[in-house]
Amino acid sequence: MPVEVANESEIAVDEAELAGVCRYVLAEMGVNPQAELSVLCVDTDYMSSLHERWMGEKGPTDVLAFPMDELDTARPDDPEPGPALLGDVVLCPAVAVRQARAAGHSMDDELVLLATHGVLHLLGYDHMEPDEEKEMFGLQKKLIDGWHSAPREPITGAPANRRPGPR
């Protein structure tokens, strides 16, 4: 699955891990392997402008998701699936650093959580209602636990022996 990661923030991030976790989540969710995703890491000023423009809220946020193509074109059961641009996940590492400190884990762990969260939003999950929140956050935890426990390929660090499809 093509996942492009661009870091335009002032903070170094593990781009390979971000791409890897996104590919893992997409595979686990049964998304067509031809689907494309973009991950962009930005500074607080740019994230603030996106947050205000698209969500009507001031200040930076941790993650925003911008869906592009219809999900139907990315489903593996589509009789003639083709490449689909799922959309963009925009992360703000500076916000992730603060949240990681508050949660007592690393910035990399926080970015894995945020990337997973953003991909789930692109796939149509939301957390506006209590039942939606329970479903999305439960799935998010399951995916992150799976990512952390998956055996890794020695060269790429990608999870080995994955089966596509929801678990």
Confidence of residue 71 (pLDDT cuts 50, 70, 90): low
Average pLDDT over residues 103-117: 96
- DSSP E strands in the chain: the ranges are 3-7, 36-41, 63-67, 85-91
- Has residue 55 got a pLDDT over 70? yes
Architecture of domain 3-149: 3-Layer(aba) Sandwich (3.40)
Q: Where do the structural domains in the chain lie, given as residue ranges?
A: 3-149
Environment class of residue 155 by beta-carbon count within 10 Å: exposed (0-12), middle (13-18) or buried (19+)? exposed
- The reported pLDDT for the residue numbered 35 is 87
The arithmetic mean of pLDDT across residues 45-50, rounded, is 95
